[in-house]
């Protein structure tokens, strides 16, 4: 059990580290702060609930079962953090958000105070590290303390479930995916942890023994539910950056046919190769270098090659835009071969402007690259560099 809860705590903590990858800006964002607070408190719940931690806390304080109110207080604080996170996530007027946050903190602050006060009044001298909820289910004050923390946690999760269901109908994309993960985690917590705890405690009240639900079923299901919630918090926050990295990596790879054709004509300074450079950085350098190479090859553009390729594409039934791409790919491939062969630039080069130079971003360059990959005659230039072109560019 120690391994399960410590592992859950570690994954929880890693989630907060990912969200705080830019600490200076994160501390100014209430949503990021509340998300990290909820995740850190969730991690602390798992750390405090581990039998190894409970034993250490009890030994350190000299009070049997002191770890119980500490854990229950952490669970209540985590429940409050979930509600605060939801309030900040939902947004609205600042005054309203602040008022709702203060009310939630005050309510759960009173609950935590009640948990501590009930434990102080209770007679709980026998240390229980794994089955305290059921062992003391019929003990005065301990009974009320156990029921109180469970009710406080249930209230928070049920409110979260209701809001996630309602809000999930109104949003799309990463936010909806995050809400669904949170809802799945909350439902697993309700069914796997809370229902198991309530059932085991109620069985004790009725004179039965279903302690296994509390000691064996509830902890792993609570861990899994919390991890799903953690993923739900993190996904909407990290999805845009992850998507940008993925698109950068994809476009960098899709530009390879075009880059292989014109790379020897580029005079753009090459940055130091580093595997840790973000895909967007590598993509930006490749985009700049390709545009530099297109500029260097412009004196070799032949309108006759372009016109023949365009007419052939149109006769083949291709749409006008695709025919234009095919024509430009053929003209560019011809220009690259002429330059690589050391031929002189044309006396009257084409004044045609490539579609890839008319559109900002990489989409048009990717279209040209994919057309080159499909064109049978548009292979890569021979390995020798276009020294003549580079010399003229430098000159």
pLDDT for 390 equals 45
Closest CA to 161 of 100, 228, 104: 228
Give the count of alpha carbons within 13 A of 52, CB side only: 8
Interior CA angle at 311 toward 308 and 317, to 5°? 145
> Predicted confidence band at 387 (pLDDT cuts at 50, 70, 90)?
very low
Tell me, what's the pLDDT at 40? 83
Question: What per-residue confidence (pLDDT) applies to 22?
Answer: 55
Strands (E), the chain: none
**Rounded Cα–Cα distance for residues 64 and 66 (Å):** 6
Degrees (nearest 5) of the Cα angle 51, 53, 54? Answer: 60
pLDDT in tens, 241-297: 778 888 888 998 999 999 889 888 877 676 555 556 677 788 888 898 999 999 999
Q: What does the alpha-carbon distance between residue 232 and residue 86 come to, in Å, rounded to a whole number? A: 12
Residue 13 lies in a domain: yes
Q: What kind and span of H or E run contains 341?
A: none
pLDDT of the residue at 297: 92
Task: Establish if 193 belongs to a structural domain.
Answer: yes
pTM recorded for the entire structure: 0.67
Instruction: Count CB atoms within 10 A of the CB of residue 38.
Output: 27
SS3 call for 385 = coil
Residue 376 pLDDT exceeds 60:
no
Most confident of the following: 4-18, 19-33, 128-142: 128-142
Q: Rounded CA gap, 273 and 177, in Å?
A: 36
Q: Where is pLDDT greater, at 394 or 94?
A: 94
Q: Is the dihedral of CA 114, 116, 122, 128 positive or negative?
A: positive
Alpha-carbon gap, residue 217 to 219, rounded angstroms? 6
Q: Do residues 120 and 25 share a domain?
A: yes
Q: If you average pLDDT over every residue of the chain, what do you get?
A: 84
Whether 395 shows a pLDDT value over 50: the answer reads no
Does 89 share its domain with 206? Answer: yes
Structural domain including 84 reads 2-245
Residue 297 lies in a domain: yes
Tell me what pLDDT residue 278 has: 75
Mark whether 189 and 289 lie in a shared domain: no
Residue 382: pLDDT over 50: no
Of 185, 210, 245, at which residue does a domain stop? 245
The one-character DSSP state at 191 is I
- Give dist(CA 271, CA 176) in Å, integer: 40
**Residue 14 scores a pLDDT above 80:** no
Distance CA 322, CA 320 (A): 5
Same domain, 278 and 309: yes
- DSSP H or E run through 193: none
Give every CB contact of residue 176 below 8 A, 6+ residues apart in sequence: 168
> Residues 211, 55, 127, CA angle at the centre, nearest 5°?
55
* Domain co-membership, 202 together with 85: yes
| Pair (296, 265) in one structural domain | yes
pLDDT at 11: 65
Whole-number Cα distances in Å, 117 to 63, 148, 161, 182, 238: 15, 12, 30, 32, 41
Q: Lowest-pLDDT range, 124-133, 138-147, 170-179, 329-338?
A: 170-179
Worst-scoring range by mean pLDDT, 14-28, 220-234, 282-296, 301-315?
A: 14-28
Q: What is the mean pLDDT of residues 61-70?
A: 92
So what's the pLDDT on residue 248?
85
Q: How confident is the model at residue 301 (pLDDT cuts 50, 70, 90)?
A: very high
pLDDT (0 to 100) of residue 152? 92
Q: Are residues 39 and 149 in the same domain?
A: yes
Q: Give buried/exposed letters for 278-311 (b at 16+ CB in 10 A, else e).
A: ebbebbebbbebbbbbbebbbbbbbeebbeebbe
Q: Let me know if residue 9 belongs to a domain.
A: yes
Establish if 251 belongs to a structural domain.
no
Q: Is residue 250 part of a domain?
A: no
Both 168 and 97 in one domain: the answer is yes
Region 148-170: what's the mean pLDDT? 89
pLDDT score at 330? 92
Residues 156, 176: one domain? Answer: yes
Within-domain flag for 252: no
Whether the Cβ atoms of residue 218 and residue 192 lie closer than 8 Å to each other = yes
330, 335, 338, 343: CA torsion to nearest 10: 150
Sign of the Cα pseudo-torsion (200, 205, 208, 209, in order): positive
Q: Which of 162, 132, 37, 34 is nearest to 87 (CA)?
A: 34
Same domain, 219 and 286: no
The sign of the dihedral angle between the CA atoms of 54, 58, 64, 65 is negative
Q: Which of 205-214, 236-245, 266-275 has the lowest mean pLDDT?
A: 266-275
CATH of the domain at 62: 1.20.1070
With 0-12 / 13-18 / 19 or more C-beta atoms within 10 angstroms meaning exposed / middle / buried, residue 51 is middle
Instruction: Using DSSP, state whether 210 is helix, strand or coil.
Output: coil
In this structure, is residue 187 part of a structural domain?
yes
Whether residues 112 and 142 share a domain: the answer is yes
The domain total for the chain is 2
pLDDT for res 171: 82
For residue 379, the model assigns a pLDDT of 47
Distance in Å from the first CA to the final CA of the chain: 72
The residue with greater pLDDT, 171 or 22, is 171
Orientation angle between helical segments 142-168 and 67-90, nearest 10 degrees: 20
pLDDT for residue 196 is more than 60: yes
Q: Is the pLDDT of residue 20 over 70?
A: no
What region, left, alpha or beta, does residue 158 occupy, with left being phi > 0 and alpha being psi -120 to 50 degrees? alpha
Q: pLDDT band for position 41 (50/70/90)?
A: confident
Choose one of 245, 273, 290: the last residue of a domain: 245
**Is a pLDDT exceeding 90 seen at residue 16?**
no
Distances (CA, A) of 317 to 257, 278, 311, 313, 328: 24, 41, 10, 7, 17
Which residue, 212, 245, 278, sits at the end of a domain? Answer: 245
Q: Is the pLDDT of residue 314 over 80?
A: yes
Confidence band of 393 (pLDDT split at 50, 70, 90): very low
Q: Are 275 and 178 found together in one domain?
A: no
Share above pLDDT 90 across residues of the chain, in percent, rounded to a whole number: 45
Is the pLDDT at 389 greater than 50? The verdict is: no
């Amino acid at each position: 059990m120690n391994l399960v809860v410590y592992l859950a705590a570690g994954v929880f903590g890693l989630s907060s580290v990912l969200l705080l990858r830019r600490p200076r800006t994160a501390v100014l964002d209430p949503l990021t702060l509340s998300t990290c607070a909820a995740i850190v408190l969730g991690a602390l719940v798992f750390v405090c609930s581990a039998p190894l931690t409970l034993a250490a806390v009890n030994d350190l304080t000299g009070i049997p079962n002191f770890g119980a109110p500490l854990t229950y207080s952490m669970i209540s604080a985590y429940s409050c953090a979930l509600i605060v996170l939801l309030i900040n996530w939902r947004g609205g007027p600042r005054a309203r958000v602040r008022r709702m946050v203060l009310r939630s903190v005050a309510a759960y602050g009173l609950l935590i105070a009640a948990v501590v006060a009930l434990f102080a009044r209770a007679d709980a001298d026998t240390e229980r590290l794994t089955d305290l909820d059921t062992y003391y289910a019929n003990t005065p004050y301990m009974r009320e303390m156990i029921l109180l923390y469970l009710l406080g946690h249930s209230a928070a999760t049920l409110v979260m479930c209701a809001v996630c269901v309602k809000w999930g109908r109104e949003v799309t994309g990463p936010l909806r995916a995050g809400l669904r993960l949170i809802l799945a985690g909350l439902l697993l917590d309700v069914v796997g942890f809370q229902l198991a705890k309530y059932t085991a405690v109620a069985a004790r009240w009725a004179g039965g023994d279903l302690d296994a639900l509390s000691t064996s079923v509830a902890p792993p299901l609570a861990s899994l539910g919390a991890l799903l919630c953690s993923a739900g918090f993190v996904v909407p926050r990290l999805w845009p950056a992850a998507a940008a990295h993925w698109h950068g990596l994809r476009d960098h790879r899709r530009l390879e046919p075009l880059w292989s054709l014109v790379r020897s004509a580029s005079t753009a300074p090459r940055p130091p190769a580093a595997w840790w450079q973000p895909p967007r950085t590598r993509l930006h350098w490749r985009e700049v270098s390709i545009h530099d190479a297109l500029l260097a090859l412009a004196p070799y553009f032949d309108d006759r090659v372009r016109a023949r390729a365009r007419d052939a594409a149109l006769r083949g039934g291709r749409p006008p835009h695709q025919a234009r791409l095919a024509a430009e790919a053929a003209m560019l491939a011809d220009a690259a071969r002429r330059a690589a062969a050391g031929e002189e630039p044309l006396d009257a080069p084409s004044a045609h402007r490539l579609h890839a130079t008319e559109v900002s971003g990489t989409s048009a360059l990717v279209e040209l690259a994919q057309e080159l990959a499909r064109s049978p005659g548009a292979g890569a230039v021979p390995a020798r560099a276009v020294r003549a072109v580079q010399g003229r560019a430098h000159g």
